[in-house]
Every structure is written in structure tokens, then in C-alpha cells.
Amino acid sequence: MILVTGASGFLGAELVKQLLATESHVRCLKRKTSAIPKKLQAFSERIEWVEADILDFSDLEDAFDGVNQVYHCAALVSFDEKLKAQMLAVNAEGTANVVNLCLQFGVQKLVHVSSIAALGNGENGAAITEKSFWEGFEIKDAYAVSKYRAEMEVWRGMHEGLNAVIVNPSVIIGADAGTQGSGALFQTVKNGISFYTAGATGLVDVEDVARCMILLMHSSASRERYILNAENISYQKLFASIAKAYNLPAPSRLIKPWMLHLAWRFSAFAKLFLGKDLGLNKTVVKASQTQSLYDNSKIKAELNYRFIPLNESITKTANGIKSA
């Protein structure tokens, strides 16, 4: 039996859909408040939904009965530092529970979804690899710390005999992204903006992430981590590509760092005194100005894998939001 945690999420739902192409049944974990994604509703007879809190060990024990493969996708993703305690609980403590139960039930293999946020920085502008050094908790945002600590729980499990691999996806996009998370960026451009920021990042299609996870589950890979990144792209080119998908003019003005910091402070003011969350904070401002490039050569060599071209993924994501 296969168990997928976080199966109602963007990545989890795509993973389950791909698994059902070859598997007769999949057991899926979700919170009581989470709705079953539309893309999985047609498979109701082949999915065993288990409602459980990732922090409730007794709930999880029932879900692990008879399980031999686990895909751990459940996580809380946020740039809001006020949610630090909650992220540490869900992402780190929740992962510890999953690891302990994998060991307790003798699970054959665990594929854990981490994040590029848990990686170190590239040296002298070089691309970030799986071996890039983690520089310390004091300079990382809450989400990054929570995902790094989650990884440490998986490595701890490996040292205790667990067969596991870790994947570190870059920014995940795809047709079902919606208007939250990475989809919020597309929605912002769709609504019309005239500026772009000086940073760069990596993007990957959700279909690629799910496909690589399944391939790694069935491979001999163990005690390894893999960056899943289709391409690196500047925010200028990314915004222009999204705008093109919506037949809009490309943003043409580079916003200065001081302008972003001023906007962040205004956003904090609006949230405090007006009760309006503009979605801008110190972490977002820093990321938008940072040139973060990711090396995907390890996963490409290991699986002889070719990622979906980024322009194709951007078009799919834009069209998905357009038709939602």
C-alpha cells in the first residue's frame, strides 16, 4: 500500500493522479478541513482518504497500517514570520512523526518533499547544489528553518535504518496552481504591473516534481537529496513571459531596493492599522532581490531526465488561472 501525505494539496494531488496510472489503490492523508481536489474526485473508488492531523501520532498510526511506500508532501508554506511556531510544528515535528512511523512499521522507502529554501547559498554567485553549505538559522526565514529541520529528521531516520530520499523542488508551477502560492505571482501580473525586480529564481512544473518522485521511489537511490528545477529565470524575464501569456505589455521598470523596502513598511502599516494584508514582508522583499540559481545536473544524470520547458509550464499555469 502507498501512503501520500498532503494529498489534497497542489503537488500531492498531481502525485496521486500519476500514481493511479499504474496503481489500483492509493491511501491519501488529509486534514478534516481540506476539500478533495477536483482532479481526484473521479478516482473516489480507488482512493482511501484518511483524515488525520500530522501532529497527532495516534491518528497517523492508523494511516500507516499495511503501508510499504510513503510520499511525504504535507507542509505549511508561508512567508509570514508570525507563523514560525506553527511551521516548525507542522513541517519539523510532523515530519518527525512520519519518520518515526516509517521506522515503526518497517516502510520500504520514504520520499520526502523538502524545498530549495532548505539549501545553502552558492559560493561567489555559483549555482546552488545539493551540497551547498547551510549558513545558519540566524539569517534564514522561518519557513526555511522549518524545512531544514524537517530534513534533519529525515536524515536522522536514515541513520536509524530508514531507506529514504529527499527532493528539493524550486518554485512549483502548473495548470492547477490557482491564485495562491506560486499562482499569486501570475495573478499579480495578470492584474497589471509595470515593474519588475532584480532577482532570479528557479521554477519547475508540478508534473515533473511528481514524476521524479515516483521514479526515485522505484530507483536504487537512497540517503540522497535532489534539486528538482527545470530552469533558472530572472524575474524580469518571468514577468515578461507571464504578461505575454495574458497578451499584456511586459513590465518595463526596474523597482529599486529602497522602493521595495518602503513598500514593505507600508504593507506592515496597512496590516497593523487597516487590517489589510498586502502580501509583502521583509522575507518576500529579500527574495525578490536575490539572484538564486539552482543546479539540476544531479537529478538529470541520475534519472536521465528531461524537464518540461519552462515557457510551456508558464503558459499552462497562466491558462489555468485564466479559466479558473
Q: Return the CATH number at 97.
A: 3.40.50.720
Distance between CA 105 and CA 312 in Å, rounded?
41
Give the pLDDT confidence score for residue 265 in this predicted structure: 42
Nearest CA to 115 out of 82, 142, 80 is that of 142
* Residue at 189 is within a domain: no
Number of domains in the chain: 1
Give the pLDDT confidence score for residue 287 in this predicted structure: 63
Distance between CA 116 and CA 148 in Å, rounded?
10
Show the domain range for 147.
2-174+203-230+294-307
> Which three three-digit cell numbers place residue 218?
522505484
- Report the range of poorest mean pLDDT among 227-236, 256-265, 298-307: 256-265
Is the pLDDT assigned to residue 147 strictly greater than 70? yes
* Residue at 65 is within a domain: yes
> Which three three-digit cell numbers place residue 181?
502560492
* Residue at 281 is within a domain: no
Residues 6+ apart with CB under 8 A from 289: 197, 198, 199, 257, 260
* Residue at 195 is within a domain: no
Please tell me what DSSP assigns to residue 212: H
What is the sign of the dihedral through the CA atoms of 117, 118, 124 and 129? negative
Residues 6+ apart with CB under 8 A from 267: 277, 278, 279, 280, 281
In order of 5, 9, 13, 47, 245, the CA distances from 36 in angstroms are: 13, 9, 9, 11, 29
Please tell me what DSSP assigns to residue 161: T
Give the pLDDT confidence score for residue 267 in this predicted structure: 45
- Report the range of poorest mean pLDDT among 145-149, 161-165, 281-285, 297-301: 281-285
* Residue at 45 is within a domain: yes
To the nearest 10°, report the CA torsion of 294, 279, 135, 234. Answer: 30
* Residue at 240 is within a domain: no
**Percent of residues, the chain, with pLDDT higher than 90:** 63
pLDDT, mean over the chain = 87
* Residue at 63 is within a domain: yes
Distance between CA 291 and CA 289 in Å, rounded?
7
Average pLDDT over residues 256-270: 46
Q: What is the pLDDT of residues 67-114, one digit of tens each?
A: 999 999 999 988 777 888 999 999 999 999 999 999 999 999 999 999
pLDDT band at 263; cut points 50, 70, 90? very low
Distance between CA 70 and CA 5 in Å, rounded?
8
225 three-class SS: strand
Give the pLDDT confidence score for residue 268 in this predicted structure: 41
* Residue at 51 is within a domain: yes
